[in-house]
Amino acid sequence: MSLTRRRFLGWIGAAGASTVLGRSANASSTVHFKGYADSFAILHDITLCVGCRACEAACNKVNELPPPELPFKDLTVLNQKRRTTAKAFTVVNRFEIEKNSKQPVFVKKQCNHCLEPACASACFVKAFKKTPEGAVSYDQSVCVGCRYCMVACPFEIPAYEYDNVFSPRVMKCTMCHPRILKGQLPGCVEACPKEAISFGKRKDILNIARERIMKHPERYLDHIYGETEMGGTSWLYISGTPFKQTGMREDLGITPAPELTSGALGAVPIVVGLWPVLLTGIYAISQRKEKVSAEEQALAVAEAVEKTEVKAKQKLAGELEKARKDAQKDKDSAIKQAVKKALDEAASVKQEASDV
């Protein structure tokens, strides 16, 4: 019998009761994912990336994601650090490095497709799995929405469709697994105009990375990020800038995630029963804060508009009064001039009469 989202939600109460009663729970699985020797991998050469965002556009098109608020050619989005979301499986960030201030560094971020994924080790319904091709896949049909994968991922990649009320999913880069199965390149690899992204068998990609480092030691650090981090990943990086300075973690070690989480997984059935309630509460609080903030902002704008209107009315009234006074002054002056002219003309006529 498969575990569906509806059945799982029906068990939430039971899981909560088990917690209260102090009953023990066993992890559904502590099997370690060893990866596949002949799997594929992708190499991102940070020194070649120019931040054009062509990879983002290709990812959006291939995965049929909603269009972004700003077009992909708008590079102003690089002014702030971004992370992947349910609507953006990959993002490029720009880093200004002090020693190389004339040339910023651009880094592409997405799921690293670990050889032994933390998300898979934390998922008690096995919604995540490492495929023979190298991608870490996600099965929505068995996912119960616990979001424990989001907590487990050391790279903070999985995102949740909070706005999708009826059938929310955990969203992340798929490594274009369907395209790989058809013999095609991943969308980002195919779209990169600078060939900053390379695709191939992982063993070959590692050799390519080592060869570049060996031929150009002045350009690259002697380290392939992802070769051993967290037991290794299928997304690899080489760089001329310390990875820590480009927002990448250097404290992960080489121990695979399952070895770190196997003990903690014993409590997953209990934790996962309460987790949706907790995350829903957090999301509700967040939404409430955003709503209050929006209301306060709207109130502030309304007050500013009202003050501006009052000042404008006062200024207009002053200008009208001044114009009225000026008009009256001009009118009085005109009357005086007319009277004077009439008197002058009368005096002239009288003078002419007396002369006759």
Q: pLDDT, tens digit, for every residue of 234-281?
A: 999 999 999 999 999 999 888 887 777 655 554 555 555 555 555 566
User: Within a 10 A sphere around the Cβ of 31, how many other Cβ atoms?
Assistant: 12
Please say whether the beta carbons of 51 and 196 come within 8 A: no
In the predicted model, what is the mean pLDDT of residues 63-79?
A: 96
Mean confidence (pLDDT) of the chain: 83
pLDDT of residue 21: 38
Residue 105 has pLDDT above 80, yes or no: yes
How far is residue 289's CA from residue 244's CA, in Å, rounded to a whole number? 32
Going by C-alpha positions, the residue among 209, 202, 235 that lies closest to residue 117 is 235
pLDDT at residue 84, rounded to an integer: 97
**Residue 225's pLDDT band (cuts 50, 70, 90):** very high
The stretch 13-37 carries a mean pLDDT of 47
Average pLDDT over residues 330-343: 78
CB 150 within 8 A of CB 160: yes
Give the residue, 108 or 100, on which the prediction is more confident: 108
Write phi, then psi, for 327 (nearest 5 degrees): -65, -40
DSSP annotation of 122 reads H
The whole-number pLDDT of residue 100 equals: 55
Helix ranges (DSSP H) in the chain: 5-10, 12-21, 54-62, 118-122, 148-152, 177-181, 187-191, 202-215, 257-261, 268-355
CA 27 to chain centre: 33
Q: Name the band, by pLDDT with cuts 50, 70 and 90, for residue 17.
A: very low
- Confidence (pLDDT) at 147: 93
CB 297 within 8 A of CB 33: no
The dihedral through the CA atoms of 191, 192, 195, 197 has a sign that is: negative
Concatenated DSSP letters of 8-70: HHHTHHHHHHHHHHT-----S--PPP---TT-EEEEEEGGG-----HHHHHHHHHTTPPPPSS
Q: What is the mean pLDDT of residues 187-210?
A: 97
Q: Tell me: pLDDT of 296 over 80.
A: no
> Does residue 9 register a pLDDT over 50?
no
> Higher confidence at residue 93 or residue 165?
93
Distance CA 158, CA 172 (A): 5
User: CA–CA distance from 267 to each of 19, 129, 145 (Å)?
Assistant: 10, 21, 17
Q: pLDDT tier at 14 (50, 70, 90 boundaries)?
A: very low
User: For residue 317, what pLDDT is reported?
Assistant: 83
Q: Which helix (H) or strand (E) holds 93?
A: strand 91-95
Helix (H) or strand (E) holding 141: none
pLDDT for position 280: 60
| Contact between residue 251 and residue 6 where contact means Cβ atoms under 8 Å apart | no
Inter-CA distances, 270 with 88, 139, 265, 278, 332, Å? 32, 22, 10, 13, 93
Average pLDDT (325-354) is: 77
Provide the whole-model pTM. Answer: 0.67
Under the banding of pLDDT at 50, 70 and 90, the label for residue 11 is very low
Q: CA 260: distance to chain centroid? A: 28
- In percent, the amount of the chain with pLDDT more than 70 equals 79
Report pLDDT for 90.
98
Task: State the average pLDDT over residues 105-110.
Answer: 98
Work out the pLDDT band at 336, boundaries 50, 70, 90. confident
Closest to 63 measured CA to CA, from 156, 188, 209, 169? 188
Q: Is 134 exposed, middle or buried (0-12, 13-18, 19+ CB in 10 A)?
A: buried
Mean pLDDT of 100-111: 87
Question: In the chain, pLDDT over 90 holds for what percent of residues?
Answer: 56
Q: In 3D, which of 206, 212, 249, 251 has the Cα closest to residue 109?
A: 249
